Amino acid sequence: MIGIVIVSHSRKLSDGLKEMADAMTQAPVPIASAGGIDDPDNPLGTDAVRVQEAARSVMSDDGVLIFTDIGSAKLSADMAIDLLDDTERARVRHCDAPLVEGVLAAAVQSAAGGSMDAVMREASGNILLQHNFRDSVSREFVIKNRLGLHARPAAMFVEAMNKFSGEIRLINLSKGKPAANAKSINGVMLSEVSGNDRVRLVASPAEAEAVFAEMDRLLTANFGEADIASAGLKVTEVASPQLVEGQLTGVSITQGFATAPLQHVCRELPKVTLTQIDDVESEIARFDEALASSEAEIKALLSGKEDSISANDQKIFDAHIAYLHDPDITTRVHDGIANKQVCAAAIWRQVIDELYETYADLKDPVLAARAADILDVGQRVLRLLLGQNEPRVFDSPVILAYDELRPSEVLALSDTRVLGVCAASGGKTSHAGILGSTLSIPVVFAFGEALQAVPDGREVLLDGAAGLLKIAPDPQEVAAMQVKREAWQKRRAQAEAIRFDPAITTDGHKVRVAVNMASMDELGLVENSGAEEVGLLRTEFLFMRRDKAPTETEQFEIYKRIVETLDGKPLTIRTTDIGGDKPVLYLDRLPETNPNLGWRGIRHSLDVPALFEVQLAAILRASAYGPVRIMFPLVSTLDEVHAACASVEQVKTRLKTQGLVFGDAVEIGVMIEVPAAAEMADILASQVDFFSIGTNDLTQYVMAADRANPKVQNLFDPFNPAVLRMVRKSIDAAHRAGIWIGMCGAMAGSPLAAPVLVGMGLDEFSMAPADIPEFKLTLTGLDRGACRGLADEVLDMTSAAAVRARITEFIG
């Protein structure tokens, strides 16, 4: 049976509650009362030692739940748990449920033989019967975004809930979590809401409808998450930390080579001396000031990073700032200072330690990874409270080793003497991983605990691309690594130096290098990418992070802004490719068995003319401000091209009658993404001005291999000769019809693909901004004649592996 400990400031209250609980249960449930303190003059309070003894007195293998009343009772309970030995501690949990209702419900469930989870759930579920919520209204929702309420969506949710004045609770029904304060980022995150979890929102009758409407809006907008499977987001990181012959293997975050002494970054939270204070008010004010200064520091670190970190990735810090404003956390600290009359640093340190442990123990790896965010925020505030300076200046080159790199530390890694970074934990999708991928030094995570054992000052070799750390290299290995590093640096510098140059092969043939864009957040990156045009603007983004379709004016303003920013460089606007792996929830889509073979791209647009024509009108109007092209996605038939072109003409007529201007030379193109389009490319070519090959989808459809399914990634390979033959066929058809052809699938940015595609005669390569320098450098080393021979050769090969091997040999 689960034991129960009642911790109240009043011994009378905890004894009385025990009496009630005993009376309600048939079987004798082990319940211990741990109220008050042993001070006859001042009996109200809580005592950690007493709680510890109480927990021991009701301890069995089944476990113990501790219930607390207000403020410092929780701190005492947590301290008591700390005082227990490891075996005992593993059996004890603290339940946030309100004391009276929680204890009574838990006692009944424990008497019935319920497990720890069942008792906890029962105690927490009773929230609706609580006094505060007796008159409240609640509604259930299912969270649809794939990763649930992890940091960014949680920050968005909390911000939305904070617009209401009354109390709002969030209960994760799927996981049987206690009711959390919906205005607290911490409460929401610890509710561990994953994709498809059922949650209940509880609000006052006056605000409930508005709260639920707001929740509907957030759900429809998918909490600002695109959930695009093709973004390659992996929820879990599979690291294989091993020590093999003096070398560790981790997860590569960036490429590059470095050799230097390893230096561990020791930033355990500083020790805090428990100092008694007299002036509670000014200590609370000092704490609030530290929170405000922390926010200002985070904002200052972010400023000027627009070109390297997209606005979306910068939102990672919204969650950090939300922690600084979290009412539950600040109240805990304020109460702690007031009740114990000790310094803010001591209370803050304790709260952060507790939060860290809680996050680190979470089962969901995405949420558990937020423990690093807690330490990041925690350390910053603590440093300010203790009046310490921002750490670290290095006087000689180092490779830094962290247990786990924290997001704001990535922003601060600008010291040129830091040649590389490794970490024991973390992954590509951790916040530090996302931000770390923008660094131009080798970064490798997830080396495991073995990293900690490498002594400070030991010379190491770090190979970013291979994710390797060599621990005791001999002098020859160090020398060889130096050579690789110099070659890599030289190549990077060369690539950077030609970022803005035209891409011309050794025999003088120029190809056009364009950039792909998927959100306004990327405008800064696009401007500085070195591309001569935008080869693909994925306009789905305009429809995805919101709850209704954007109007003609909204779209027009956005397209116009991009056109004006590009200042004469062409902008290829792809009409929406909604559907497939990019659903837009508010568009009333029916579930499809095979969404990728279903109602997406141009099929959807032609069936919803109201939406399509609004978009075409906005694009055409933007074309009055600079060169604009229109491109249709997922075309499979000539009829679709006719229908889409007819819509363009119809919209032009409408605009003329409205007296609205548009450019007179808007090129129209189609994407070659479906095998039918590649096969019929000669026919389609007669109807349009250009083609752009979408190898992401083309590969998926040629190989019948879902681009987002890791199980079939061996088949999903654009280097497969079957895909290359389709590419060749499309290029030949375009050229025979006298139109140009580009490529905007991921293959276009691959340096390995460049010689084959140049050999086939591709005119334009459109890629991610980060791919441009290396692509240009590769291209400038190619001879078109030799590339033509290579292209012919690989088309006759029998596998993707053979093609890759041959190109690698060709590049040399």
At 150, list the tokens.
Answer: 């992890």
Going by C-beta distance under 8 Å and a sequence separation of 6 or more, which residues neighbour residue 486?
A: none
Q: How far is the CB of 757 from ligand PEP (least distance, A)?
A: 14
Binding site for ligand PEP (CB under 6 A): 230, 536, 538, 577, 673, 694-697, 744-745
Stretch 696-725 residues interacting with Mg ion (CB under 5 A):
697
Can you tell me the distance from the alpha carbon of 534 to that of 515, in angstroms, rounded to the nearest whole number? 5
Stretch 227-246 residues interacting with Mg ion (CB under 5 A):
none
Q: Give which of Mg ion, ligand PEP, none residue 52 binds (C-beta under 5 to 8 Å, depending on kind).
A: none
* Torsional sign, CA 93, 98, 103, 104: negative
Q: At what angle do helices 784-795 and 800-811 cross, to 10 degrees?
A: 160
Give, as one character, the DSSP assignment of residue 229. Answer: G
Residue 550: count other Cβ atoms within 10 Å of its Cβ: 18
Q: Give which of Mg ion, ligand PEP, none residue 100 binds (C-beta under 5 to 8 Å, depending on kind).
A: none
| Residue among 298 and 741 whose Cβ is closer to Mg ion | 741
Side-chain-side CA neighbours of residue 577 (13 Å): 23
Q: Give which of ligand PEP, Mg ion, none residue 178 binds (C-beta under 5 to 8 Å, depending on kind).
A: none
Residue 561 vs residues 522, 558, 564, 619: alpha-carbon distances, Å: 13, 5, 5, 12
Q: Give which of ligand PEP, Mg ion, none residue 600 binds (C-beta under 5 to 8 Å, depending on kind).
A: none
Nearest partner of 438 among 260, 255, 233, judged by Cα: 255
DSSP assignment of 510-555? EEEEEEEE-SGGGHHHHHTS--SEEEEEETHHHHHSSSSPPPHHHH
Q: Give which of ligand PEP, Mg ion, none residue 760 binds (C-beta under 5 to 8 Å, depending on kind).
A: none
Q: How far is the CB of 529 from ligand PEP (least distance, A)?
A: 17
* Alpha-carbon radius of gyration of the chain: 30
Q: How far is the CB of 580 from ligand PEP (least distance, A)?
A: 7
Stretch 658-697 residues interacting with Mg ion (CB under 5 A):
673, 694, 697
Residue whose C-beta lies closest to Mg ion: 697
Question: Which residues pair with residue 276 across a beta bridge?
Answer: 342
Q: Give which of ligand PEP, Mg ion, none residue 262 binds (C-beta under 5 to 8 Å, depending on kind).
A: none
| Residue among 383 and 574 whose Cβ is closer to ligand PEP | 574
Can you tell me the distance from the alpha carbon of 172 to that of 142, in angstroms, rounded to the nearest whole number? 10
Q: Give which of ligand PEP, Mg ion, none residue 744 binds (C-beta under 5 to 8 Å, depending on kind).
A: ligand PEP
Q: Give which of ligand PEP, Mg ion, none residue 538 binds (C-beta under 5 to 8 Å, depending on kind).
A: ligand PEP
Phi-psi region of 353 (alpha: psi -120 to 50; beta: other; left: phi over 0): alpha
| Residue among 123 and 514 whose Cβ is closer to ligand PEP | 514
Contact 489, 274 (CB under 8 A): no
Q: How far is the CB of 634 from ligand PEP (least distance, A)?
A: 8
Residue of 9, 320, 334, 431 marked active site: 431
Backbone angles phi, psi at 667, to 5 degrees: -75, 150
Residue 686 vs residues 153, 602, 642, 690, 691: alpha-carbon distances, Å: 47, 19, 11, 10, 11
Residue 747: count other Cβ atoms within 10 Å of its Cβ: 26
Provide the residue type at 252 as one letter.
S
* Torsional sign, CA 805, 806, 809, 811: negative
Contact 269, 382 (CB under 8 A): yes
| Residue among 254 and 695 whose Cβ is closer to ligand PEP | 695
742 binds Mg ion (CB under 5 A): no
Q: Give which of ligand PEP, Mg ion, none residue 695 binds (C-beta under 5 to 8 Å, depending on kind).
A: ligand PEP
Q: How far is the CB of 549 from ligand PEP (least distance, A)?
A: 19
At 298, list the tokens.
Answer: 């985070």
Q: How far is the CB of 597 from Mg ion (least distance, A)?
A: 13
Residue 328: count other Cβ atoms within 10 Å of its Cβ: 17
Provide the residue type at 676 as one letter.
A
Q: How far is the CB of 213 from ligand PEP (least distance, A)?
A: 32
| Residue among 541 and 810 whose Cβ is closer to ligand PEP | 541
Q: How far is the CB of 229 from Mg ion (least distance, A)?
A: 12
Q: How far is the CB of 702 from Mg ion (least distance, A)?
A: 13
- C-alpha dihedral over 208, 212, 218, 219, to 10 degrees? 150
Query: Annotated catalytic, 744?
Result: yes
| Residue among 426 and 745 whose Cβ is closer to ligand PEP | 745
Stretch 269-328 residues interacting with Mg ion (CB under 5 A):
none
Nearest partner of 199 among 224, 166, 175, 223, judged by Cα: 175
Q: Give which of Mg ion, ligand PEP, none residue 429 binds (C-beta under 5 to 8 Å, depending on kind).
A: none
Question: Which residues pair with residue 259 across a beta bridge?
Answer: 461
569: helix, strand or coil: coil
Question: Which residues pair with residue 172 across a beta bridge?
Answer: 199
| Residue among 430 and 695 whose Cβ is closer to Mg ion | 695
At 777, list the tokens.
Answer: 């450098």
| Residue among 114 and 694 whose Cβ is closer to Mg ion | 694
Residue 687: count other Cβ atoms within 10 Å of its Cβ: 15
283: helix, strand or coil: helix
Nearest partner of 369 among 423, 439, 295, 291, judged by Cα: 423
| Residue among 126 and 766 whose Cβ is closer to ligand PEP | 766
| Residue among 197 and 673 whose Cβ is closer to ligand PEP | 673
| Residue among 356 and 716 whose Cβ is closer to ligand PEP | 716
Residue of 343, 422, 744, 787 marked active site: 744
By residue count, the chain amounts to: 812
Q: How far is the CB of 114 from ligand PEP (least distance, A)?
A: 49
Q: How far is the CB of 190 from ligand PEP (least distance, A)?
A: 36
Q: Give which of ligand PEP, Mg ion, none residue 745 binds (C-beta under 5 to 8 Å, depending on kind).
A: ligand PEP
Query: Annotated catalytic, 431?
Result: yes
Site residues (vs Mg ion, CB under 5 A): 673, 694, 697
Task: Report, as residue numbers or ranges, the catalytic residues.
Answer: 431, 744
